[in-house]
Structure 1
Amino acid sequence: MLALRDITVQIGDATLIESVTAKVHSGQLTAVVGPNGAGKTTLLRVATGELAPSAGTVEMGDRPLEALPEREQARRRAVLPQQSQLHFAFSVLQVVLMGRTPHLRGAESARDWEVAHAALQAVAMDDFAERDFPTLSGGEQQRVHLARALAQIWTPPDAGHRYLLLDEPTASLDLAHQHQVLQTAAGLAADGVGVLAILHDLNLAAQYADHVVMLRRGMAHAKGPPRDVFTPAGVEDVFGCPVRVIAHPTQPCPLIVPDATAPASPPAVPTA
């Protein structure tokens, strides 16, 4: 389990995260949702070790994250940020092979090439293997970076579990590829990987997540299965948008529909 316990992040006078606890269990997809500025990306940066919390701890397995060597962390946990800048004319396959770096002992082995091709196939980009990466569209580049992250944790480590951390992985994708990416993530979870995904689309979170953490102003407003978290009152309280929550016509999950008949209101401001 990847556990964030009582995380607080303060920068200057601003409190970005306050006493948030979240757990990423192996074999589950956990979605973090909330309005802009709620602290979603800050929480993910703490989970990756990029940002040290002002208070609280991050543990991978039964060990503090900072106690694990960086190479061991990289073998067990891959991260897909919102944006990954790469301007050199590497081929798509070369970019994906970068994900195998923590596993290398010298040059790439036949197994590393095999994993890179399999990761590209998993994101439906195997036909682009020889293309120069900068010639791809933004959405295609994002899918290649997802393949790179998959290649990094493709093989289970000798000890411990694997984790995939995704920061808005569907933001630049069209409808079909949004679902394809989350189907891939859900498939990894079914294979035992712990997945943490920052998502803006509540219906994608409802359809694919096993567990949801809903943030408001840096605090955890609700946590639990999608059906428990996505209530009309809860969504309106956090997002300021009246909604109706109905049964999805084809999936065993709730469907969140904005209620155009009710006036929108700003999220409630906590009183002192």
Structure 2
Amino acid sequence: MITVHQLNYSIGNKVLLQDINLRFEAGKISLIIGANGAGKSTLLKTLCRQLIPVSGEIKMGHKPLSQFGNNELARIRAVLSQHIDLAFPLRVEEVVMMGRYPHFNNRPDKIDYNVCKAALESFDLSAFADRNYLTLSGGEKQLVHFARVMAQTWHPQEGYDRYLLLDEPLTFLDIQHQYQFMKMLLKIARENRVIVGVVHDLNLAAQFADHLVLLHQGKILASGTPTEVLTISNITTAFNIKPVIQEQHGKPLISFSV
């Protein structure tokens, strides 16, 4: 579980996050939504410890995030950034092996190689193992990095939850692969992982999220189930456009009149 208590973050006089109180539970997909500049990526970066809040506290389990050692944290928490470029012509297998770095000192062992093989197989990337990463499409690169972060937290660590933090993971994926990706997230979440991600597509968020957080101007506008969060009032306030909302299979389906 991740708990966020009275979190505030600012740069100079500009307040980017204000009075954030949240709980992200294991076994669920929690997605953060909101307009550009609402604070989505900033919130995720505080959860990743890339940004240090001005005040407030973040806990992973019962332990403050600030008290984790770097290697201890890397064994249980993986981050998929929206920036996925690498400058070196590594093989795909080598990129996935990067996820295992926190688990060995000098050389990977049989366990690390087996994990990488299994991660590649999970994303139908086995045929890409020897390919030059730089020759891949944007969507293929994104899948390789997802295999990498999955390899990082493949095995449970005794006494810890496993955490997967995703910053706009669908950016480079076509519609088919977006849905495949989200279906895989559902499966992974049910393995008792804590999954928190930032997405833009409200309908994908509505269909796959167990828990939605809608940010507006650095504050929580709404938090709860997709039905509770994705209301006409909330969407109009957050995005300055009035939606049309229907129900499909118990989930809100959102469209906008031209």
Instruction: Tell me the TM-score normalised to structure 2 length.
Output: 0.97
Q: Tell me how far apart the structure 2 counterparts of residues 237 and 124 of structure 1 sit (CA, whole Å).
A: 41
How far 1:239 moved relative to its partner? Answer: 0.6
Q: Which residue of 1 aligns with 2:133?
A: 133
Residues 192-243 of structure 1 show CA distances to partners (whole Å, capped at 9, x for unaligned) of: 0010010000111111110000000100000000011001111111111211
**Is residue 9–residue 54 contact of structure 1 (8 Å, CA) maintained in 2?**
yes
How far 1:185 moved relative to its partner? Answer: 1.3
How far 1:162 moved relative to its partner? Answer: 0.3
- Give the match's secondary structure for 1:38: coil
Q: Which residue of 2 aligns with 1:209?
A: 209
1:220 aligns with 2:220: yes
Q: Which residue of 1 aligns with 2:251?
A: 253
Q: Which runs of 4+ in 1 moved over 6 A?
A: none
Residues 40-60 of structure 1 show CA distances to partners (whole Å, capped at 9, x for unaligned) of: 000011001110001111111
1:87 aligns with 2:80: no
How far 1:127 moved relative to its partner? Answer: 1.8
**Is residue 123–residue 181 contact of structure 1 (8 Å, CA) maintained in 2?**
no
**Is residue 38–residue 218 contact of structure 1 (8 Å, CA) maintained in 2?**
yes
Q: What amino acid maps onto 1:256 in structure 2?
A: I
Q: Which residue of 1 aligns with 2:192?
A: 192
**Pairing of 1:34-49 with structure 2 (within 5 A):** 34-49=34-49
**Is residue 123–residue 180 contact of structure 1 (8 Å, CA) maintained in 2?**
no
Structure 2: segments with no counterpart, 5+ residues: none
**Pairing of 1:44-83 with structure 2 (within 5 A):** 44-83=44-83
1:182 aligns with 2:182: yes
Number of residue pairs the alignment of both structures matches: 258
Q: Tell me how far apart the structure 2 counterparts of residues 34 and 200 of structure 1 sit (CA, whole Å).
A: 7
Q: Tell me how far apart the structure 1 counterparts of residues 209 and 124 of structure 2 sit (CA, whole Å).
A: 22
Q: Give the alignment's Cα RMSD to 1 decimal.
A: 1.1
Residues 157-213 of structure 1 show CA distances to partners (whole Å, capped at 9, x for unaligned) of: 111100100000001110011111111111111110010010000111111110000
Structure 1: segments with no counterpart, 5+ residues: 261-272
Q: Tell me how far apart the structure 1 counterparts of residues 231 and 167 of structure 2 sit (CA, whole Å).
A: 24
Q: Tell me how far apart the structure 2 counterparts of residues 180 and 117 of structure 1 sit (CA, whole Å).
A: 20
**Is residue 123–residue 184 contact of structure 1 (8 Å, CA) maintained in 2?**
no
Q: Tell me how far apart the structure 1 counterparts of residues 173 and 41 of structure 2 sit (CA, whole Å).
A: 19
**Is residue 2–residue 60 contact of structure 1 (8 Å, CA) maintained in 2?**
yes
Q: Which residue of 1 aligns with 2:232?
A: 232
Q: Tell me how far apart the structure 2 counterparts of residues 156 and 252 of structure 1 sit (CA, whole Å).
A: 33
- Give the match's secondary structure for 1:155: coil
**Is residue 77–residue 163 contact of structure 1 (8 Å, CA) maintained in 2?**
yes
- Give the match's secondary structure for 1:215: strand
Identity of paired residues, percent? 38
Residues 76-100 of structure 1 show CA distances to partners (whole Å, capped at 9, x for unaligned) of: 1000011122121110011001101
